[in-house]
Amino acid sequence: MEENMEEGQTQKGCFECCIKCLGGIPYASLIATILLYAGVALFCGCGHEALSGTVNILQTYFEMARTAGDTLDVFTMIDIFKYVIYGIAAAFFVYGILLMVEGFFTTGAIKDLYGDFKITTCGRCVSAWFIMLTYLFMLAWLGVTAFTSLPVYMYFNLWTICRNATLVEGANLCLDLRQFGIVTIGEEKKICTVSENFLRMCESTELNMTFHLFIVALAGAGAAVIAMVHYLMVLSANWAYVKDACRMQKYEDIKSKEEQELHDIHSTRSKERLNAYT
């Protein structure tokens, strides 16, 4: 009988511990972090593979070659974009962890472990800093989303030309890379529907795959923007919580001081009365 009671108390204690742990999780920050990681993963992974596919298409079907020396050509720019993607993936992986830690501290997830939750000036400065940094990152991701839409537009035009060439017989449609700024004005790199390279490019799966990879990368950038907006809402709510908690803390300190002063006054008067009586 005693063993059953002990087991029941143990199960009850574990259940209460689980409830406390689940109650301390900042779910809003967790959702924003998952959305941020998903968006960054889609953008970085699909964007990297789409850039590699673009290099293969330019070299195979447009017969472009890398320029020798330190000349800044389209292939060098693509390599730079790949390194930027590596940096974005690493930076936002760390930033997502920092925001989750900030969410745990602000929501008071460690309150029961360390006693009363105290709001410090440093904590308020950190919250304000994260709000400003997240706002700047949101603007940066808006720029990345707008920039990612450019290759989607280019590949959509190329895909449309391939589709119209198969629907309309005898149509002579051309795509000139100079109109997109990929090559200089003096360098003519265009492909027409009557050429063999154009037919092979339209029939290959590489064009379709690269086009859809850029679309997924654009969707990932949009998801990152939504995650940044979500983070801004969470951080603003946390800032309001910190501000109210700070005011409440000051009120409690003033109240405790007043109560202590009143207690000291009553004690002094009681002693005076006792001395007068004696």
**Average confidence (pLDDT) over 74-97:** 91
Q: How far apart are the first and last CA of the chain?
A: 62
Q: What does the pLDDT read at residue 176?
A: 75
pLDDT above 90 (res 251): no
Q: What does the pLDDT read at residue 191?
A: 76
Distances (CA, A) of 29 to 77, 99, 104, 113: 35, 7, 9, 21
Contacts of 72 (CB under 8 A, 6+ apart): none
pLDDT above 90 (res 68): no
Tokens of 174: 């051309």
Nearest alpha carbon to residue 38 among 216, 234, 220, 219? 220
pLDDT above 80 (res 98): yes
Beta-sheet strands, E only, within 56-183: 174-176
To the nearest whole percent, how much of the chain has pLDDT over 90? 31
Instruction: Give the Cα separation of 259 and 251 in Å (integer).
Output: 12
Beta-sheet strands, E only, within the chain: 174-176, 190-192
Mean pLDDT, the chain, as a whole number?
Answer: 78
What pTM was computed for the model? 0.76
Q: What does the pLDDT read at residue 112?
A: 44
pLDDT tens digits for range 155-175: 898 888 887 776 666 667 777
pLDDT band with cut points at 50, 70 and 90 for residue 215 = very high
Name residue 176's beta-bridge partners.
Answer: 190
78 vs 5, higher pLDDT: 78
Torsion on CA atoms 176, 179, 183, 185, rounded to nearest 10? 100
21 vs 86, higher pLDDT: 86
pLDDT above 80 (res 224): yes
**Average confidence (pLDDT) over 140-148:** 94
pLDDT above 50 (res 114): no
Instruction: Give the Cα separation of 255 and 257 in Å (integer).
Output: 5
